[in-house]
Amino acid sequence: MAGRECPLVGFGPARPLIVITNDDGVDSPALIPLRQALAQLGDVRIVVPDQNRSGAARSITMHSPLWVEEVELFDGSVAYSSDGTPVDCVRMAALGLLDREPDLIVSGINLGENLGDDITYSGTVAAALEGIMLDIPAIALSAQGYHPDYDLSVPARFAQHLIQMVLKSGFPAKTLLNINCPDRSWVDLAGAKLTVLGKRIYGDKVQHQETRGNRRRYYIYNDELGFRQEPGTDFEAVTAGYVSITPLHFDLMSHEALEQLRCWEPDLDLKRVGGGSGGEPEEDGRPRSLQEGGQES
């Protein structure tokens, strides 16, 4: 709610344990540059899905055990690769897979942006959300407009810079920082801005592909993406060449609507609504049949 202060979480003098996760999987080209950048700041562990889990959002694995495999990356470092979702990976890292609880979750670098309404679908942002659900500071990091020649050292370097800041100054409690880095070299970045979430415009439509007997096949997602032009948003910042930093939290409660709906409370008294014998309305807490002279057995 507006006007509330956000306390800061401090970090102790010990070298922090930083857990990297993602939704692009263990083969993501972003893992090594991010690990190398963050290894200068703390002890780094990588816990990631064994395959691409983009769009997994906050899905979890409930009815089967999870396999975890130690996989050697191209630089010789080791990653824990799981057949679970990004959220599963964070929970495993926090609840006992590692030798101690993480001090910071860094989810990314996502191979593509997570701006505006994208965050509701994103496995990258969902993993960071799981961190703050477990009271662990978390960052979601994405590379806007990713392509094979994208310089992933740029978002990795910015993450290093930002984490240096929060290790010194503290991290906003129960809040994740959603970072989106534009496709620019380090020297060409316009800077960094604190932003609000913008409004994504999706071009999705149902497209019939084929029919097989009683089954029809449809395609509903495409790449026709736009956004609403509004000042101060993450879209505006990235389009102008700035790194966007958007603070997010998990409070889905609509406090304003709750107060507005207080007027419903008299009508929510079910003793006044009905539900007596035979489902007939009640006026004084007794079924209508008793009000009209019937006797209670």
Q: How far apart are CA 90 and CA 97, in angstroms?
A: 10
Q: What DSSP assignment string belongs to 101-123? A: --SEEEEEEESS---GGGGGT-H
pLDDT score at 60: 77
What percent of the chain has pLDDT above 70?
89
What would the pLDDT profile of 28-64 be if each residue is shown by its tens digit? 999 999 999 999 999 999 999 998 888 787 887 788 8
| 8 A C-beta contact, residue 54 and residue 126 | no
Q: Which amino acid is at 265?
A: E
User: Cα dihedral sign for 260, 266, 271, 274?
Assistant: negative
Residue-level pLDDT, tens digit, the chain, 297 residues = 455 678 888 898 889 999 999 999 999 999 999 999 999 999 999 999 998 888 787 887 788 899 999 999 999 999 999 999 999 999 999 999 999 999 999 999 999 999 998 888 899 999 999 999 999 999 999 999 999 999 999 999 999 999 999 999 999 999 999 999 999 999 999 999 999 998 887 767 788 888 999 998 988 776 677 767 888 999 999 999 999 999 999 888 888 999 999 999 888 888 877 655 555 555 555 544 444 544 544
Q: State the amino acid at position 123 in one-letter form.
A: G
Per-domain residue ranges of the chain: 8-199+229-252, 258-289
3-state secondary structure of 180: strand
Quote the radius of gyration of the chain (alpha carbons, Å): 25
CB half-sphere exposure, 90, CA atoms < 13 A = 33
pLDDT of res. 297: 42
pLDDT score for 59: 81
pTM of structure: 0.84
Q: What angle do CA 67, 74, 127 make, to 5 degrees?
A: 45
**What does the alpha-carbon distance between residue 127 and residue 261 come to, in Å, rounded to a whole number?**
33
Which sign, positive or negative, has the C-alpha torsion 105, 111, 113, 117?
negative
Report the alpha-carbon distance of residue 244 to residue 267 in Å, rounded.
46
H helices present in 114-269, as ranges = 123-133, 153-169, 234-239, 255-260
pLDDT at 289: 44
- Asked, as a colleague might, if the bond just before 109 is cis with ω within 30 of 0, I would say yes
Identify whether the C-beta of residue 113 lies closer than 8 Å to the C-beta of residue 78. no
Question: Which CATH superfamily includes the segment(s) 8-199+229-252?
Answer: Survival protein SurE-like phosphatase/nucleotidase (3.40.1210.10)
From CA 168, how far away is CA 12, in angstroms rounded? 10
CA separation for the pair 143, 238 (Å, rounded) = 10
